[in-house]
């Protein structure tokens, strides 16, 4: 018996066209081109989710570093001092404190500077 695949194909194509919504020209209306465009876009989306994490971490490090330098301590010594004091705040929270709550951040810098090794204080 012959099997007609019209409904199955239509559903498969519509799934791709739904993902290609907003694309330009034949990338939204021609199945084979839309399929390639959707596969590329999904690959780029996966790649860029990772890139976004990397970019934000760089931004947070820059903000923390600038706030530390304004208070007379380097970024690396600040992070080292926090780890020695067993303060486990991540960089996202530290950057937010540096921008919005400078008094609390200054207290953290004070704690971090007290937990420096003896050679670092002499230098």
Residue linked to tokens 């799934």: 15
pLDDT in tens, 16-62: 999 999 999 999 999 999 999 999 999 999 999 999 999 999 999 99
pLDDT beyond 90 at 10: yes
How far is the C-alpha of 61 from the C-alpha of 95, rounded, in Å? 7
Domains of the chain: 6-122 (1.10.1900.20)
Residue in 96, 105, 94, 119 with CA at minimum distance from that of residue 71: 105
């Amino acid at each position: 018996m012959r099997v007609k695949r019209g409904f199955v194909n239509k559903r498969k194509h519509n799934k791709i066209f739904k993902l290609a919504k907003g694309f330009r020209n034949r990338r939204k209306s021609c199945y084979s081109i839309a399929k390639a465009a959707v596969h590329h876009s999904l690959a780029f989306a996966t790649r860029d989710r990772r890139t976004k994490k990397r970019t934000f971490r760089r931004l947070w490090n820059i903000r923390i570093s600038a706030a530390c330098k304004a208070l007379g301590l380097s970024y690396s010594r600040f992070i080292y001092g926090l780890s020695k004091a067993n303060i486990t705040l991540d960089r996202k929270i530290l950057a937010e404190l540096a921008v919005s709550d400078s008094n609390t951040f200054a207290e953290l810098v004070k704690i971090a500077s007290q937990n420096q090794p003896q050679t670092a204080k002499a230098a």
